[in-house]
Structure 1
């Protein structure tokens, strides 16, 4: 092999290695930032036979159970129960809740699983309207009553 051809081969090999390394690092970084979506039933019973692990970052969606909202009087800490069609899980959150948050309303919380049925949320989003939810979640939530804003009683 002549020296010029050898030099080209080395340059092409180096470029391929650098590109492969960059792609590998990007996939690794993206893999750590993925928040898998679960319902309360899937957290307790497992999703396709696999339960989320304690410490795993995840996103959970369901309905806030009537009468379950507990607020700490000295801080912004709040905890509430979340349900879909099966088991209930508890969500704890430190911060100001969205204006649309209320009992009987659908929410999505992002956080970490701290126990088998407890989530420490970093972000809580209140759903505006249950009519626009994904078909899978709508099917799982059948039979749970949604409280419309005009029917909700605010206790402040």
Structure 2
């Protein structure tokens, strides 16, 4: 093999090796920052299609309804503990050490993100309260009512613009 071809081959092999190393580091970083979504039943029994269960120490998101009568607050701190259940009957305990969202209440849908600390127990770092798509803050509704008045078109304007 002549020196020119040898140099090109070495460069090509080094380039392919570098791309492979970068791709593997990228996949590793994405995998370690991945937050998988589970329902309480899937945490307890595993996912239906794959049987995959989250591991202790894994960062996950869980969604469900806050079980009525399950919330326990520590009077001396922000620590709160509550149960989250789903329609299939699974239930897990969520602990949280920060201010809860204003829309949080028992019987309300939530999504909690955190680390699975024990089987069926999540130490949440973030709690999001769900609301329906029709929700509108009172301030926004009031502002829209004041600034969005119905326009009155004359008959000529209506005909020209196609409005009735």
**TM superposition score normalised by structure 1:** 0.78
* Equivalence for 1:141: none
Paired positions, count: 131
Q: CA deviation at 1:116?
A: 1.5
1:92 aligns with 2:92: no
1:105-134 deviations in Å (ceiling 9; x for gaps): 111111111221111111111112278xxx
Q: CA deviation at 1:92?
A: 0.1
What is the Cα-based RMSD across aligned positions, in Å?
1.5
1:121 & 1:35 partners in 2: Cα distance? 13
Structure 1: which 5+ runs fail to align?
Answer: 132-156
Q: 1:106·1:130 contact (CA, 8 Å) conserved in 2?
A: no
Of structures 1 and 2, the one scoring higher in RCO (CA 8 A, sep 6+) is: 1
Q: CA deviation at 1:30?
A: 0.5
* Equivalence for 2:116: 113
Q: 1:80·1:92 contact (CA, 8 Å) conserved in 2?
A: yes
Structure 2: which 5+ runs fail to align?
Answer: 135-164
**TM superposition score normalised by structure 2:** 0.75
Moved over 4 A (4+): none
